[in-house]
């Protein structure tokens, strides 16, 4: 892939040493473009939503940030329509860019992540009301799960002509931590799942979970016909960007579920500010990072912004000083990577909570401020407790307990507390078939497994945390119809 790169050198102060880093920013286009006229690239503002509707008051803080009241969403669409905004599906943006045409001024793409049923129930009627299209990124194995879209709802949405279905992987795992083979299964799996629901339907738009990826992700997306992929990087997407790494603006990051009367006005004002070129932005990067013993952990953070006028003066103050990087520099880029590579020794000495504050000032004196907190956690691990390595039964019922608590004693913040970064879900399988769908757990999960066929069985529990990391544990069980048969089975293993 050819790319045009700008290089800026920044001096970082970290751990008492000075590290000179070359910041390389790529403006590559994945799809070959025709010769361009010297015309203005209006760009497109891609908005990210999740759930539409009312949130349960007892829901976790992380769950609450996914919700936007239906009335607020209606206000936003109504006001944007009234201001003359143009709405498009992500695939429509691709088609215009690929044909060498210019986007209309003030173009917006509405996207939804995860494929929640609330999008069908509450967002689709509003889309019909205002005749605006949107793109919904679905998780393949969550289709037909309570709270998510069903096959029929997906067919109905696509049948309106307003909705494009995009991929959000098969299981919503963090692709960054998967092997090439595992990534391919996640990408290919969701594409095939949707094609089985709507024969002949080709997914061409994608959203990588958590906005994270590795060197092979783009190659695999392109291999399976994906032409546009969105991340969590903040900003307006332009034709000269990498089409498989497009930025978005995460609308639900605002506490809009609180402001039932003024939420729509506040969010619309924010959208106006972005498209009017005002200096706006936010930090990105994982909110937590899992530590690996004897290795440094890549926990890189990013400050991304848009608007204003360069050059920009950027100041980062890390806490604790010298561990979380600090620096000050004048740059032209609007994406500032902040390398953070903590180790087990770092956590022993400085604890598990880190933070940074940032200030961005443009050449006109406009200022942007913000903060970001990062937590270090023990790597997600699940194990079976209070049961033998191999289980024998003649009744067909086995009670198993899966535990995710840490056994690490080196760091007090870890010991006997949940590994990974919440929320954590557990999913159970018997001989490769799901028997318990994903459900939230705090410390452990106990299940009664029913065996019906005599012989050997494999029981597997799979847990996933809020970072998309996955851990599994398996156990072998034998079912016999008599106590004597159990003895024969055990002797056969000896």
For residue 21, give both structure tokens.
Answer: 């880093």
The 3-class secondary structure across the chain, one letter per residue, is: CCCCEEEEEEEEEECCEEEEEEEEEECCCCCCCCCCCCCCCCCEEEEEECEECCCCCCCCHHHHCCEECHHHHHHHHHHHHHCCCEECCHHHHHHHHHCCCCCCCCEEEEEEEECEHHHHHHHHHHHHHHCCCEEEEECHHHCCCCCECCHHHHHHHHHCCCEEEEECCCCCCCHHHCCHHHHHHHHHHHHHHHHHHCCCCCCCEEECHHHCCCCCHHHHHHHCCCCEEEEEEECCECCCCCCCCEEEEEHHHCCCCCCCCCHHHHHHHHHHHHHCCCCEEEEECCCEEEECCCCCCCCCEEEEEECCCCCEEEEEEEECECCECEEEEEECCCEEEECCCCCHHHHHHHCCEEEEEEEEECCCCCEEEEEEEEEEEECCCCEEECCCCEEEECCCEEEEEEECECCCCCCCCCCCCECCCCCEEEEEEECCEEEEEEEEECCEEEEEEECCCCEEEEEEEEEECCCCCEEEEEEEEEECCCHHHHHHHHHHHC
User: What mean pLDDT do residues 432-441 have?
Assistant: 92
Residue 2 pLDDT > 50: no
Q: What percent of the chain has pLDDT over 70?
A: 85
- Whether 369 and 388 map to the same domain: the answer is no
User: What mean pLDDT do residues 185-204 have?
Assistant: 97
12 assigned to some structural domain: no
Q: What is the pLDDT of residues 421-430, one digit of tens each?
A: 999 999 999 9
**Average pLDDT of the chain, as a whole number:** 86
What single string gives the DSSP state of each residue in 286-313? -SEEEE-TTS-----EEEEEE-S-SSEE
- Whether 350 and 419 map to the same domain: the answer is no
In whole angstroms, give the CA distance from residue 277 to residue 310: 12
N-terminal to C-terminal alpha carbon distance within the chain: 57
- Whether 395 and 312 map to the same domain: the answer is no
The predicted pLDDT at position 15 comes to 41
50 assigned to some structural domain: yes
Residue 308 pLDDT > 70: yes
Where does the pLDDT of residue 67 fall: very low under 50, low under 70, confident under 90, or very high at 90 and above?
A: confident
Residues with Cβ < 8 Å from 399, sequence gap 6 or more?
Answer: 446, 447, 448, 449
Where does the pLDDT of residue 59 fall: very low under 50, low under 70, confident under 90, or very high at 90 and above?
A: low
The predicted pLDDT at position 57 comes to 67
The predicted pLDDT at position 262 comes to 61
Short-list 83, 165, 72, 178, CA closest to 126:
72
Name the domain count of the chain: 3
- Whether 110 and 208 map to the same domain: the answer is yes
User: What mean pLDDT do residues 123-143 have?
Assistant: 97
172 assigned to some structural domain: yes
In whole angstroms, give the CA distance from residue 215 to residue 176: 9
9 assigned to some structural domain: no
User: What mean pLDDT do residues 122-149 have?
Assistant: 96
- Whether 261 and 302 map to the same domain: the answer is no
pTM over 0.75: yes
User: What mean pLDDT do residues 262-271 have?
Assistant: 77
CA distances from 31 to 208, 243, 248, 320, 333 (A): 18, 7, 19, 43, 23
- Whether 305 and 226 map to the same domain: the answer is no
The predicted pLDDT at position 252 comes to 65
Where does the pLDDT of residue 364 fall: very low under 50, low under 70, confident under 90, or very high at 90 and above?
A: very high
Q: What is the pLDDT of residues 388-423, one digit of tens each?
A: 989 999 999 999 999 999 999 889 899 999 999 999
- Whether 316 and 231 map to the same domain: the answer is no
User: What mean pLDDT do residues 322-336 have?
Assistant: 90
30 assigned to some structural domain: no
Q: Which of 327, 348, 377 is the last residue of a domain?
A: 377
User: What mean pLDDT do residues 125-138 have?
Assistant: 98
- Whether 137 and 243 map to the same domain: the answer is yes
* CATH number of the domain enclosing 302: 2.60.40.2950
Residue 110 pLDDT > 90: yes
Residue 98 CB coordination number (10 Å): 17
- Whether 363 and 387 map to the same domain: the answer is no
The predicted pLDDT at position 71 comes to 87
User: What mean pLDDT do residues 439-457 have?
Assistant: 95
20 assigned to some structural domain: no
Assign 64 to helix, strand or coil.
Answer: helix
User: What mean pLDDT do residues 449-464 have?
Assistant: 95
111 assigned to some structural domain: yes
Which range is least confidently modeled, 29-38, 179-188, 477-486?
Answer: 29-38
Residue 12 pLDDT > 50: no
The predicted pLDDT at position 260 comes to 53
Residue 343 pLDDT > 50: yes
Instruction: Locate the DSSP E strands across 35-106.
Output: 44-49, 51-52, 67-68, 86-87
The predicted pLDDT at position 376 comes to 95
Where does the pLDDT of residue 295 fall: very low under 50, low under 70, confident under 90, or very high at 90 and above?
A: confident
Residue 269 pLDDT > 90: no
- Whether 186 and 211 map to the same domain: the answer is yes
Where does the pLDDT of residue 296 fall: very low under 50, low under 70, confident under 90, or very high at 90 and above?
A: confident
Q: Which residue has the higher pLDDT, 159 or 211?
A: 159
- Whether 251 and 351 map to the same domain: the answer is no
- Whether 108 and 241 map to the same domain: the answer is yes
* Backbone Cα Rg of the chain: 25
Residue for token digits 């599994």?
472
User: What mean pLDDT do residues 381-394 have?
Assistant: 93
Domain around 337: 283-377
The predicted pLDDT at position 310 comes to 93
């Amino acid at each position: 892939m050819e790319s045009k790169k700008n290089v800026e050198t920044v001096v970082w102060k970290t751990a008492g040493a000075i590290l000179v880093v070359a910041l390389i920013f790529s403006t590559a286009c994945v799809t070959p473009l025709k010769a361009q006229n010297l015309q203005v690239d209006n760009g497109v503002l891609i908005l990210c939503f999740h759930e539409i509707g009312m949130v349960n008051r007892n829901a976790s803080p992380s769950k609450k940030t996914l919700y936007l009241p239906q009335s607020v969403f209606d206000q936003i669409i109504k006001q944007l329509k009234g201001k003359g905004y143009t709405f498009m599906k992500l695939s429509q943006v691709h088609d215009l860019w690929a044909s060498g045409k210019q986007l209309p001024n003030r173009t917006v793409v509405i996207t939804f992540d995860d494929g929640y049923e609330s999008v069908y129930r509450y967002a689709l009627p509003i889309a019909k009301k205002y005749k605006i299209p949107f793109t919904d990124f679905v998780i393949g194995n969550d289709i037909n799960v309570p709270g998510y879209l069903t096959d029929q709802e997906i067919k109905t949405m696509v049948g309106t002509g307003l909705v494009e279905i995009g991929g959000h992987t098969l299981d919503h795992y963090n692709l960054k931590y998967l092997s090439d083979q595992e990534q391919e299964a996640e990408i290919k799996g969701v594409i095939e799942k949707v094609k089985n629901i709507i024969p002949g339907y080709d997914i061409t738009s994608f959203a990588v979970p958590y906005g994270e990826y590795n060197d092979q992700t783009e190659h695999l997306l392109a291999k399976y016909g994906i032409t546009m992929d969105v991340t969590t990087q903040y900003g307006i997407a332009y034709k000269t960007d990498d089409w498989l790494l497009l930025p978005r603006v995460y609308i639900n990051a605002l506490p809009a579920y609180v402001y039932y009367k003024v939420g729509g006005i506040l969010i619309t004002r924010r959208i106006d500010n972005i498209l009017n070129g005002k200096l706006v932005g936010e930090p990105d990067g994982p909110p937590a990072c899992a530590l690996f013993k004897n290795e440094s952990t890549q926990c890189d953070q990013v400050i991304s912004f848009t608007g204003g006028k360069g050059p920009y003066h950027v100041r980062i103050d890390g806490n604790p000083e010298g561990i979380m990087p600090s620096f000050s520099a004048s740059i032209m880029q609007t994406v500032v990577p902040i390398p953070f590579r903590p180790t087990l020794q770092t956590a022993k000495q400085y604890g598990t909570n880190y933070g940074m504050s940032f200030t961005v000032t443009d050449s006109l004196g406009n200022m942007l401020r913000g903060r970001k907190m990062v937590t270090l956690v023990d790597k997600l691990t699940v194990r079976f407790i209070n049961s033998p390595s191999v289980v024998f039964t003649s009744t067909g019922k086995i009670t198993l307990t899966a535990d995710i608590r840490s056994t690490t004693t080196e760091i007090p913040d870890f010991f006997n507390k949940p590994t990974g970064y919440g929320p954590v879900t557990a999913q159970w399988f018997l001989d490769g078939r799901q028997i318990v769908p994903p459900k939230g757990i705090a410390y452990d999960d106990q299940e009664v497994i029913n065996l019906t066929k005599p012989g050997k069985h494999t029981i597997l529990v799979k847990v996933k945390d809020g970072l998309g990391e996955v851990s599994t544990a398996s156990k072998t069980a034998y079912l016999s119809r008599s106590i004597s048969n159990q003895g024969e089975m055990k002797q056969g293993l000896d």
